[in-house]
Amino acid sequence: MTDEALSNHASGSCFHAFQIHSIPGVVAVKEQHQVRSPKPSSERGLTLLEVLGVILILAVLAMVLIPAISRPVSRVPRVRCVNNLKNIGLAFRIFSTDHGGQWPMDRSITNQGTREWLADDTQLWRHWLQLSNELSDPTMLLCPSDLQRQPKQPFFSAPRPLTWAGFTNTAHLSYFLGLNAREESYQTILSGDRNLTTNGFPVRPGRLIVNESTVVGFSTELHAEGGSILMADGSVQQVSDRRANEAWRANLNASGLKTNLWLVP
């Protein structure tokens, strides 16, 4: 069949979708239009409603899981702070056993004490320094939550540990010292977190005189739940801001005094 005959035949038939080319000895048929198959369902994207549903589920999971995960972590510094105070209490008791039932503040400097330093509030650190034989690690005097008192570490070098040799002020001290505590009166207060309040106002560093009319509490500077108190018998109480005043009342009654003196770093 000639090219002209093929052309005349295609004009009245369904071969309009193809081009027919004549090459000597070969007849080639080239498809002009290719029908695309529909995309499989696995390639279909998410709709806006489905995306919003996923976001909502993730938000609910975050609200449930984040508090549960963060709660135990937030209590770790509080537990370490309590352990610090327990070790401090043990150090005082060891010192008392070795020095006739007296604490450093009760003995003169010539007799391994710090009594003369009581006249100078800026020398508070010396009372703690006198416990260096009983308290091997001075970092126990630093509450983990007391960010303002943490030693500054140099960049690009190993951290420098806090040592007794460098303990020459109250810069790294987190706990106050109760001067009227007595070992035989277990309800008297020996020490505790420095973030004290009196009558609702934060206590400044220095000498604090508290009496029957003083309302003692804790700010949230160190612990959101309140504070920790070291009793004269070596036990530690974790108290809320409200219960701190109850502990102070019991301390005042146990001491038999109308006023008590605390040294706050």
Residue pLDDT, tens place only, 131-178: 999 999 999 999 999 999 988 776 666 667 789 998 999 999 999 999
The residue among 125 and 65 whose pLDDT is bigger is 125
pLDDT at 54: 87
pLDDT at 69: 58
Asked if residues 134 and 91 have their Cβ atoms less than 8 Å apart, the reply is: yes
In a domain? residue 178: yes
* Percent of the chain's residues with pLDDT above 90: 55
Asked if residues 82 and 144 have their Cβ atoms less than 8 Å apart, the reply is: no
In a domain? residue 202: yes
For residue 222, give every residue at least 6 positions away whose Cβ sits within 8 Å of its Cβ, in sequence order, or none: 81, 143, 145, 146, 174, 193, 194, 195
The residue among 239 and 15 whose pLDDT is bigger is 239
In a domain? residue 225: yes
pTM given for the model: 0.72
What is the rounded CA–CA span in Å between residue 71 and residue 77?
12
In a domain? residue 18: no
pLDDT at 139: 94
Please write the tens of the pLDDT for every residue from 65-93. Answer: 776 555 444 578 889 999 999 999 999 99
Give the mean model confidence (pLDDT) for residues 197-210: 95
Q: What is the span of the domain harbouring residue 175?
A: 77-152+162-264
Confidence of residue 181 (pLDDT cuts 50, 70, 90): very high
In a domain? residue 247: yes
The count of domains in the chain is: 1
What is the rounded CA–CA span in Å between residue 63 and residue 43?
32
**Mean pLDDT for the chain overall:** 83
In a domain? residue 141: yes
In a domain? residue 4: no
In a domain? residue 34: no
